[in-house]
């Protein structure tokens, strides 16, 4: 798109396969703590984790609050006796390094970084997200990393997108596209700031308005 000058790009479930990364981290944490996790434990991770992130988006929960309750809730769901907060700390140590890229992620980053100003726009700690992208081979010179930690608030908070626009000055919102998987955090958050939007439905079909929608990362290179 000739009028687009910059791309804001989400990380989890857009560039990185978060369920696969989380599974890798949970089983590494279990080995360290000597926990014998039930086989079906990770079946509960996604619904519980997604519910907690949605509560964060609605401002009913903080990221610190999520870290307190996440693993206790998952352990309760499978009847496993474990120390949730301790497991959380160990899990996150491994999650820092667990980064399974989505098919086509490397090609996409190289393509977008060569053609546009490319900024990663992610809810998460700056260091952790940069490390994960580096491990997955997705971090390149010239990219920006705009994190909720640096912004002081998470997508879809309007202040997060105001922070992004400030960092991409003097571009106007209409010259920027947000590419991500979350209809609320990525798409509605960016649209409210006047930024154009492209939803990536890789893992599930989502609904709601967006300017563009794709089902694979490869399709993005045809549009942008």
Interface residues toward Mg ion, by CB under 5 A: 10, 12-13, 181
Query: Which of 50, 172 has the CB closer to Mg ion?
Result: 50
CB of 14 to Mg ion, least distance (A): 5
CB of 124 to Mg ion, least distance (A): 10
Query: Which of 36, 204 has the CB closer to Mg ion?
Result: 204
CB of 204 to Mg ion, least distance (A): 12
CB of 100 to Mg ion, least distance (A): 14
Evaluate whether 122 touches 12 at the Cβ level (below 8 Å): yes
Q: Going edge to edge, which strands form the sheet with 117-122? A: 144-147, 117-122, 6-9, 176-180, 196-200, 212-214
Nearest residue to 216 via CA among 134, 107, 122, 126: 107
Query: Which of 155, 196 has the CB closer to Mg ion?
Result: 155
Other CB atoms closer than 10 Å to residue 30's CB: what's the count?
18
What are the helix and strand counts (H, E) for the chain?
Answer: 10, 6
Query: Which of 33, 135 has the CB closer to Mg ion?
Result: 135
Which H or E element spans position 78? helix 63-78
């Amino acid at each position: 798109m000739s009028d687009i000058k910059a791309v804001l790009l989400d990380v989890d479930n857009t560039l990185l396969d978060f369920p696969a990364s989380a599974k890798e981290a949970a089983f590494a944490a279990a080995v360290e703590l000597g926990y014998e996790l039930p086989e079906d434990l990770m079946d509960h991770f996604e619904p519980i984790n997604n519910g907690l992130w949605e509560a964060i988006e609605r401002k009913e929960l903080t990221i610190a609050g999520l870290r307190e309750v996440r693993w206790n809730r998952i352990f309760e769901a499978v009847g496993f006796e474990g120390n949730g907060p301790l497991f959380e700390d160990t899990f996150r140590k491994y999650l820092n390094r667990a980064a399974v890229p989505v098919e086509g992620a490397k090609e996409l980053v190289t393509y977008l970084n060569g053609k546009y100003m490319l900024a990663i726009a992610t809810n998460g700690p700056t260091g952790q997200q940069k490390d994960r992208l580096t491990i997955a081979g997705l971090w390149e010179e010239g990219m920006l990393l705009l994190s909720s930690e640096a912004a002081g608030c998470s997508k879809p908070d309007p202040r997060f997108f105001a922070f992004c626009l400030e960092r991409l000055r003097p571009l106007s919102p209409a010259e920027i596209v947000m590419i991500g998987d979350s209809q609320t955090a990525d798409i509605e958050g960016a649209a409210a700031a006047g930024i154009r939007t492209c939803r990536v439905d890789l893992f599930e079909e989502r609904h709601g308005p967006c300017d563009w929608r794709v089902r694979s990362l490869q399709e993005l290179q045809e549009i942008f």
